Structure 1
Amino acid sequence: MSKPLILVSNDDGITSHGIRVLVEVMAEIGEVVVVAPDSPQSGMGHAITIGEPLRLYKTRLFKDLDVISYKCSGTPADCVKLAKHHVLKDRTPDLVVSGVNHGSNLAVSVLYSGTMSAAIEGAIEGFPAIGFSLSDFAQDADFSHTRDYIKHISQQVLEHGLGKGIALNVNFPPKQNEKIKGIKICRQANAHWEEEFDHRKDPYGRPYFWLAGNFVNNDKGEDSDVWAVDHNYVAVVPCQYDLTAHHAIARINEEWDF
């Protein structure tokens, strides 16, 4: 049987340590094609490039793995779109994977995440898709404890598939002395960022702002992604791009004067 075709992207850029780990694992499973940003695109959400041209260049970064790769000047979502319409052309990926992100994408962060936007773009295009993130922002983060789980989760998706329009948001705890306890299928936690802008001045006295803030978890449940990662589990949250608040439709129809 032919190997599954796997498209790999990310938001930290094609030279990041995390994508190297992901490509190495995917190369054990199937035929891999990489289309990833040429520079970091963290926090880009589901942005696409419409006001300027996109550049796409073939690279030799993964030649040692016999993997074809391209760097793209656009966003993670751009990368998946270009992969579908130009790089892969008439071929259909069996799986789209994104990451491994340097830093978690828990709770509301999924909306801002470039990592998850690549996965969700895959789901929009009708492909099974997974976004992988590690709760460690260091550029030299240790990903060794994620490899077996990345492979296992990916193989499960290839075997069982995902519902239409669904992508998995997978978050790993940082490397610890204690082994990971297992995998938990979770919901997105009720947590958010309390933001503030640090007001500074550049050497010429001109003002500028730097976004900062603290992550606040208001969720006391033991079935959330934040709880799972905090307790050394791999958190898996099925996500969808349909943002309709279905429960609000009836109330608005009944109570509002439309």
Structure 2
Amino acid sequence: MTKKPLILVTNDDGISAPGIRTLISVMKTIGDVVVVAPDSAQSGMGHAITLNSTLYAEEVFMNDGPQKEFTCSGTPADCVKIAIREILDRKPDLCVSGINHGSNASINVIYSGTMSAAIEAGIEGIPAIGFSLLDYSWNANFEACKSYVKTITENVLKNGIPNGIVLNVNLPNIPETDIKGIKVCRQAKANWVEEFDKRKTPQGKDYYWLTGKFVNLDGGEDTDEWALENSYVSIVPTQFDLTAHHFIKDLNTWNLND
């Protein structure tokens, strides 16, 4: 009898978020599931880890079992670390993170707790995928995601992912019948034009809310932003080696040791 793959599920929106509950339901059709997710929302945490405060992990029992589930008081990256070191009795065959409420396409991957959890798994040599839906609402409808999440997951388990790479998958917020398919893409060149909304407390102390507008600077038709705008699911193979290899040769021409 073929042994089912062990799948670690996590996210950054918290263990009760509809996105992760949808992801769990899909993963249970594929393998044995263990969930280790934050006990509260951790969006925008990037690859932060807990160093200067106590970290807790506690088993919980949700109403859509029978998978084993744990909450963690730390960040998404903490969740993966503690799952591998303390909770699981063997290395998982796959880690999936999400389904995030909101886009992690383009530059958003830098700030994403969802993708940082997947990257942490990748650092440990575990094939990993981050899934995101382009809808920030807590009540987002994830039904259209299910078949694509399953297809991509099964392909990863079948074909594998090279060491040092994780997959960043974003899904457009449209009915499933309107999705044209899946496109393998590069990350679009884009950024946030940010501002701070400055206000005062009743005591007269200044405080700030971060605001901004997303600006796509990339006109290419091979990017994740183009794919999503044109009704495709985007997959970007993402690496966590941040070395600018193409600049090493030029940098070596500098007079750095004179």
Q: Shared fold by TM > 0.5?
A: yes
| Separation in structure 1 between the aligned mates of residue 182 and residue 142 of structure 2, nearest angstrom | 16
Mean Cα deviation higher: 114-123 or 196-205: 196-205
Q: Where does structure 1 lack aligned partners over 5 or more consecutive residues?
A: none
User: What is the CA distance between 1:107 and its match in structure 2?
Assistant: 0.8
> What do the CA deviations read for 1:86-125 (whole angstroms, capped 9, x no partner)?
0003x01010000000000011110100000000000000
Deviation, 1:254, is: 1.5
Contact kept, 8 Å, 1:38 with 1:73, in 2: the verdict is yes
Letter in 1 for 2:13: D
- What code does the residue aligned with 2:75 have? T
1:25-62, Cα deviation, whole Å (9 max, x unpaired): 0001000000000000000000000101101111011x
Instruction: Report the Cα offset of residue 204 of structure 1.
Output: 2.8
The aligned counterpart of 1:77 is: 77
Question: In the alignment, which residue of structure 1 is the partner of 2:66?
Answer: 66
User: Taking structure 1 as the reference length, what is the TM-score of the superposition?
Assistant: 0.97
The residue correspondences of 1:96-245 to structure 2 (distance < 5 A) are: 96-176=95-175, 178-245=177-244
Task: Report the CA distance between 1:202 and its aligned residue.
Answer: 2.2
> What letter matches 2:57 in structure 1?
L
Deviation per residue, 1:158-179 (Å, 9 max, x gap) = 0000000110000000024852
Equivalent residue, structure 2, for 1:41? 42
1:45–1:113: 8 Å Cα contact kept in structure 2?
A: yes
> Which deviates more, 189-198 or 202-211?
202-211
Structure 2 residue runs of 5 or longer lacking an equivalent are none
For residue 203 of structure 1, report the CA deviation from its aligned partner: 3.0
SS of the equivalent of 1:168 reads: strand
Q: Residue type of the partner of 2:59?
A: K
- AA of the residue aligned to 1:2: K
Contact 2:145/2:176 (CA < 8 Å) preserved in 1?
no
Between the aligned residues of both structures, percent identity stands at: 57
Cα offsets for 1:50-80 (capped at 9, x unmatched): 101101111011x533110000000000000
Runs of 4+ in 1 over 4 A off after TM superposition: none
Paired with 2:45 and 2:179, the residues of 1 have a C-alpha distance of 30
Q: Distance in 2 between matches of 1:65 and 1:58?
A: 13
- 2:27 matched to which residue of 1? 26
Provide the C-alpha distance between the structure 2 equivalents of 1:167 and 1:114, rounded to a whole number of angstroms: 14
TM-score normalised by structure 2 residue count: 0.97
Distance between the aligned counterparts of 1:19 and 1:177, measured in 2?
19
| Cα deviation 1:169-192 (Å, max 9, x = unaligned) | 000000248520000000000001
